[in-house]
Amino acid sequence: MSSAYLLIALSLLMLGVAIWVFFWCVDSGQFDDIEEKGAAALDGRNLPGEESEPPKA
């Protein structure tokens, strides 16, 4: 029975860490304009702040 208490405590801790990571990602802008970055990768163009040149076709 004591192992069940340990597993419940560990799962709640992991849940708290997962929620904290999600809100940290939202606050740091990880989910801002995800379509633009995907389209830029397919079109082969640079986004602002990137220094690499697109591949030559």
Q: In this structure, is residue 10 part of a structural domain?
A: no
Q: In this structure, is residue 57 part of a structural domain?
A: no
Residues 6+ apart with CB under 8 A from 28: none
- Which pLDDT score, from 0 to 100, does residue 57 have? 60
Over residues 46-53, the mean pLDDT reads 62
- Count of domains for the chain: 1
Q: What is the pLDDT of residues 7-27, one digit of tens each?
A: 999 999 999 999 999 999 999
Q: In this structure, is residue 55 part of a structural domain?
A: no
Q: In this structure, is residue 1 part of a structural domain?
A: no
Under a CB-based contact definition with an 8 Å cutoff, are residues 4 and 10 in contact?
no
Q: In this structure, is residue 9 part of a structural domain?
A: no
Under a CB-based contact definition with an 8 Å cutoff, are residues 37 and 47 in contact?
yes
Q: In this structure, is residue 7 part of a structural domain?
A: no
Q: Which structural domain range is residue 32 located in? A: 17-44
In whole angstroms, what is the distance from residue 8 CA to residue 5 CA?
5
- Which pLDDT score, from 0 to 100, does residue 35 have? 74
Q: Which residue has the higher pLDDT, 2 or 31?
A: 2
Q: Which residue has the higher pLDDT, 56 or 42?
A: 42
Q: What is the pLDDT of residues 28-49, one digit of tens each?
A: 888 777 777 677 767 766 656 6
